[in-house]
Amino acid sequence: MWMLEIALCPQLAAGVIECRSEVQGPYVAPMACRERMNGQRDALRALADDLDAELVDIKVGCRRGRDA
């Protein structure tokens, strides 16, 4: 199984950086996970723009999860 990991670290005010992460899935095939990656970075950048926040870090990627 594959998991989609998303991490976003915006600076909302001087000296205030707040990082959040989320894991979505599982996806059986790696391609299904990669398809979900499409547009995620752009959406997160747009969200930061709406919040008038500077992005310190942004990560979007797929990783292999542990099969149950």
Query: What is the spatial distance between Cα 65 and Cα 24, in angstroms, rounded to a whole number?
Result: 11
pLDDT tens-digit readout, 7-65: 999 998 888 899 999 999 999 999 999 999 999 999 999 999 998 899 999 999 999 98
Per-residue confidence (pLDDT) for residue 12, from 0 to 100: 82
Q: How confident is the model at residue 68 (pLDDT cuts 50, 70, 90)?
A: low
pTM for the model stands at 0.77
Per-residue confidence (pLDDT) for residue 66, from 0 to 100: 78
Work out the widest C-alpha separation in the chain, in whole angstroms.
44
Per-residue confidence (pLDDT) for residue 51, from 0 to 100: 86
Query: What is the spatial distance between Cα 17 and Cα 47, in angstroms, rounded to a whole number?
Result: 15
